[in-house]
Amino acid sequence: MVQRGHAANSAAGQADGRKVELAAAGGVLGALAAMSCCIMPLVFFGLGISGAWIGNLTSLTPYQPIFIGVTLAFLATGYYLVYRKPRAACAEGEACTRALPRRGVKLALWAATALVALAIAFPYVAPALLGT
């Protein structure tokens, strides 16, 4: 019985580990997309990178709320799987052999959170920063 419990736990743990990786990847990509329309053009301009292709990025601005929403959904899923679910599943006191998400994946979640927070805050802080 204990053996089966362990196997089931670690299999579920593996599956969750993969889900967290997907959620983190989705979060990072979504955060980059959310930054692409307003923050990235400013960064490019400051670095002297130019090109008509940047116009393709700025034209995505109306979709930014969608990018932000999708990113937040990915991140919420990721955080739930990393912090909330393991606590609930291991509550019964049985030995938990589920694999913990690798540190890199957690780092990706936090980095994506920082980036999407920046994307959300940017319209409010930029005028003050840029002096317009």
Partner 1 sequence: MTRILALMSVAAMVLAGAVASAADQTVMLAVDNMYCDACPYIVKQSLAKVPGVKNVAVSFEQKSATVTYDDEKTTLDALTSATTQAGYPSRVIP
**Given the rule CB under 8 A, which residues bind partner 1?**
37-38, 41-42, 44-45, 50-52, 54-55, 57-59, 61-62, 122-123, 126-127, 130, 132
Nearer to partner 1, 57 or 100 (CB): 57
What tokens does 118 get? 């920046």
Nearer to partner 1, 45 or 83 (CB): 45
Q: In the bound complex, what is the minimum distance in angstroms from residue 127's beta carbon to partner 1?
A: 6
Nearest to 29 by CA among 81, 79, 67: 67
Q: In the bound complex, what is the minimum distance in angstroms from residue 121's beta carbon to partner 1?
A: 11
DSSP secondary structure string, 48-92? T---TTHHHHHTTGGGHHHHHHHHHHHHHHHHIIIIIHHHHHGGG
Nearer to partner 1, 52 or 95 (CB): 52
How many H-runs (helices) and E-runs (strands) does the chain carry? 6, 0
Q: In the bound complex, what is the minimum distance in angstroms from residue 78's beta carbon to partner 1?
A: 27
